[in-house]
Structure 1
Amino acid sequence: MTTAPAGPDPTMQAIGQAIAEGRAGDTTSARQKLLSLWSVIGATGDPLHRCSLAHWLADLYDDPAQALAWDVRALDAADAVTDQRVQEHHAGLHIAGFYPSLHLNLADNYRRLGSFEAATEHINAARTHAPSLPQDSYGDLLRGAIQEVAEAIALRDRSRRASAPGSTA
């Protein structure tokens, strides 16, 4: 989306800075910063903060079990986020647009762990929510990843996808 944020949010800014650090290759530092933020936010803090932090933190783990724990937290938090809260952060966003990615990540983690029934449940949920994706490069990326994970589930392939986000170290 190209709409500017509705107002500054220091926690979301700190999450964004940690994400940028992780994308630049310093996953250890990014992970530590996000874990420190989590200790401040807590399991009952602002659901948008919890959802965003957990979703991105999961990508910083190569171990699918560790990533799964954070992706479950992200999905649980998303269920408590309202469109009003999302739009306070960034006008024009809707919580429905979060669900394809959240379910995709869960499907991929379950697949890598060999839990193909759970993986199928979440890839089907990702497909159900996919119409909420924008018609842009981000939406195309997620639609492609949903297809890629669905194919890997069908093949009972547990290997890490080359296109998966996150650390490779």
Structure 2
Amino acid sequence: MTATPAVDPTMDAITTAVTLGHEGETARARQELLAIWEDLGVLGDPLHRCTLAHYLADLQSDPAAALIWDVRALDAAGALTDQRAGEHHAGLQVDGFYPSLHLNIADNLRRLGAFEAAAEQISRAEERVAALPPGPYGDMIRAAIGGVSDAIAARDTTPRSTSPTVTATD
């Protein structure tokens, strides 16, 4: 018998807000995620904080604002356990979060012209790619790591066309 994931109203609310953002309602999505963040507080469930901050970063058009949220997501991942992640989705492991988290921080630092710090973060992402699952998601993150690495080497601050923040508006 397969275990059914526990009902998680906070993750459901985060998912609903993220869907709004994907549908172009960026301001409303940001507003809803910020309200959830206020309810969570800095000591809230690390899975909720990591997920929310990761998606809220994607809704920022300013790379400095996105960087703040990406650092919050990375911080929350440090407090997250595989057991808690697995309660949300069977087999989900925290190690698989890190390539994307470091990639996003590197990309924001690159866009801000902080190339040395960006290179350090992209190296951390590259060191953790083995934790990515096979398939489309892992392939997408690996390709993005390569693209950001190339942009860092070229000292290019242009937003990537595939970056979620390219379409975010205030």
Task: Give the alignment's TM-score, normalised by structure 1.
Answer: 0.96
1:114 is aligned to 2:110? no
Indicate the residue corresponding to 2:41 in structure 1. 42
Cα deviation for residue 165 of structure 1 reads: 1.4
Residue identity opposite 1:29 in structure 2: R
Kept in 1, the 8 Å contact 2:103–2:145? The answer is yes
Kept in 2, the 8 Å contact 1:5–1:88? The answer is no
Indicate the residue corresponding to 2:84 in structure 1. 85
**Runs of at least 5 residues in structure 2 that lack an aligned partner in the other structure:** none
- How many residues are matched? 167
- Once the two structures are superposed, the pairs formed by residues 103-142 of structure 1 within 5 Å of their partners are 103-142=102-141
Cα distance in 1 for partners of 2:33, 2:95 equals: 24
Indicate the residue corresponding to 1:101 in structure 2. 100
Cα deviation for residue 59 of structure 1 reads: 0.1
Cα deviation for residue 95 of structure 1 reads: 0.4
Kept in 2, the 8 Å contact 1:47–1:81? The answer is yes
Task: Give the alignment's TM-score, normalised by structure 2.
Answer: 0.95
Flag as ranges the 4+ runs of structure 1 deviating above 6 A.
none
Indicate the residue corresponding to 2:153 in structure 1. 154
Cα deviation digits, residues 33-55 of structure 1 (max 9, x gap): 00000000011111111000000
- Structure 2 SS opposite 1:79: helix
Residue identity opposite 2:82 in structure 1: D
Task: Note the aligned Cα RMSD (angstroms).
Answer: 1.2
Cα distance in 1 for partners of 2:132, 2:90 equals: 16
1:56 is aligned to 2:69? no
**Runs of at least 5 residues in structure 1 that lack an aligned partner in the other structure:** none
